[in-house]
């Protein structure tokens, strides 16, 4: 009988991490320190508003002070730089999060580099990218850090494993590859110019897919028993696509009927069936991002005061 793959439940792992963060917050509060997160949301992009609301709500649940700053769509780069400078100087703010995307006329790169590296809870600042590259403690990008948490908490081996990361963005692919390398995996990074991608992925013990293309990694590209980490979030609005990826899945069909769309990752669900473990979409890696943001905020609060990253 073939063994059923293990579903890596991102929601359960996120709850575990949030409970730990809450405990760290209460220990800091006992010392008169309340960690604080400033969230900057420009304009009214519906998806960004949903993410931001959820971040602010989670702060409240864990005892983290949060401040939502919502400049108008017309805000200039200079005004945003001024705002960031004020937040950098504020003692009660440990983390600064600029919700992306920003309007086109705002210089995103300049702004992200203006955030103090010590308050850079998204881990996007070049200083933190450098710290990650050289294996120094620092603030790490939330989604890739979540991937490592999933693997570790499920007690899946990383050291010595062949890990193939498909995607090389600064936000996901590259930091994920570095984190896996820091955990002693043998890492290969693939991208749109990779020759014979399937031959590379078939050699992988762990595949991290961060491409942004629905069901791109098929079962034929996966070694049976591999661990599959699916970072992709793709919305399917065409019924034929839903039937292609989710044939016989009544729950998804019902969601599609109700909402007119369903979410699929970058890995074809058919590939999950031959894996040893996989992160579902939704409910996998995506569920961890906010938990890791909370973790980073408390970590920033501790490191800024000269404490160790965690109390234990
Ligand atoms: P980007 O578009 O920035 O990067 C995509 C990467 O995929 C690029 O490196 C690109 O290669 C590579 N790629 C594209 N086509 C191919 C191909 N045919 N073969 C091999 N590689 C290819 O995306 P992100 O990294 O920002 O995001 C990736 C996915 O993860 C998206 O679905 C996004 O929605 C999701 N995401 C989820 C998050 C969460 O769970 N919280 C957070 C962030 C992202 P090249 O560099 O050569 O162009």
Dump pLDDT digits (tens) for 209-226.
999 999 999 999 999 999
| Residue 217 domain flag | yes
Span from the CA of 211 to the centroid of ligand 1 (angstroms):
3
List pLDDT tens digits, range 126-163.
Answer: 999 999 999 898 999 999 999 999 999 999 999 999 99
pLDDT band at 311; cut points 50, 70, 90: confident
> How confident is the model at residue 1, as a pLDDT?
54
Using DSSP's 3-state secondary structure scheme, residue 154 falls into coil
**E strand segments, 197-254:** 206-209, 227-230, 234-236
pLDDT band at 310; cut points 50, 70, 90: confident
Of all protein residues, whose CA lies closest to atom 16 belonging to ligand 1?
192
**Relative to the CA of 193, which ligand 1 atom is closest?**
47
Pairing of strands 65-69, 36-40: parallel
Is the model's pLDDT at 192 over the cut of 80?
yes
What is d(CA 275, CA 268) in angstroms, rounded to the nearest whole number? 12
Give the residue among 212, 199, 205 at the shortest CA–CA distance from 187.
205
Give yes or no: residues 162 and 83 share one domain: no
Give yes or no: residues 148 and 86 share one domain: no
> How confident is the model at residue 35, as a pLDDT?
98
Which CATH number fits the domain that encloses residue 37? 3.40.50.10860
> How confident is the model at residue 3, as a pLDDT?
82
**Relative to the CA of 172, which ligand 1 atom is closest?**
25
List pLDDT tens digits, range 3-55.
Answer: 899 999 999 999 999 999 999 999 999 999 999 999 999 998 888 999 999 99
Which residues form the catalytic set?
Answer: 55, 99, 122
* pTM attached to this predicted model: 0.96
CB-based contact 34:64 (threshold 8 Å): yes
Span from the CA of 230 to the centroid of ligand 1 (angstroms):
11
Q: Which residue has the tokens 């703010």?
A: 93
> How confident is the model at residue 2, as a pLDDT?
65
Pocket of ligand 1 (CB under 6 A): 143, 166-169, 171-173, 190-194, 197, 210-213, 231-234, 285-286, 289
Give yes or no: residues 106 and 208 share one domain: no
**Relative to the CA of 212, which ligand 1 atom is closest?**
32
The parent domain of residue 204 ranges over 142-284
């Amino acid at each position: 009988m073939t063994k059923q793959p293990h579903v890596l439940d991102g929601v359960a792992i996120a709850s575990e991490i949030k409970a730990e963060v809450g405990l760290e917050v209460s220990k800091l509060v006992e010392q008169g320190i309340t960690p604080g997160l400033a969230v900057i949301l420009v304009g009214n992009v519906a998806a960004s508003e949903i993410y931001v609301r959820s971040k602010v709500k989670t702060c409240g649940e864990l005892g983290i002070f949060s401040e939502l700053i919502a400049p108008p769509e017309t805000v200039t780069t200079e005004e945003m730089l001024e705002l960031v400078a004020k937040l950098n100087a504020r003692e009660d703010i440990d983390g600064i999060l600029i919700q992306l995307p920003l309007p086109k006329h705002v210089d995103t790169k300049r702004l992200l580099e203006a955030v103090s590296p010590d308050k850079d809870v998204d881990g996007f600042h070049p200083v933190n990218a450098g710290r990650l590259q050289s294996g120094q403690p620092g603030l790490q990008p939330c989604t890739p850090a979540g991937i490592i948490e999933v693997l570790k908490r499920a007690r899946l081996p990383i050291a010595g494993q062949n890990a193939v990361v498909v995607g090389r963005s600064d936000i996901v692919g590259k930091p994920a590859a570095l984190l896996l390398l820091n955990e002693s995996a043998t890492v290969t990074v693939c991208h749109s110019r990779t020759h014979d991608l399937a031959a590379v992925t078939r050699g992988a013990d762990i595949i991290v897919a961060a491409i942004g293309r629905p069901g791109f990694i098929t079962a034929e590209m996966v070694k049976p028993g591999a661990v599959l980490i699916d970072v992709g979030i793709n919305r399917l609005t065409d019924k034929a696509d839903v039937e292609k990826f989710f044939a016989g899945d009544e729950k998804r069909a019902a969601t599609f009927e109700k909402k007119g769309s369903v979410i699929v990752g970058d890995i074809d669900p058919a590939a999950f069936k031959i894996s040893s473990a996989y992160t579902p979409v939704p409910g996998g890696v995506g569920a961890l991002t906010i938990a890791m943001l909370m973790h980073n905020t408390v970590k920033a609060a501790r490191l800024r005061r000269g404490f160790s990253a965690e109390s234990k």
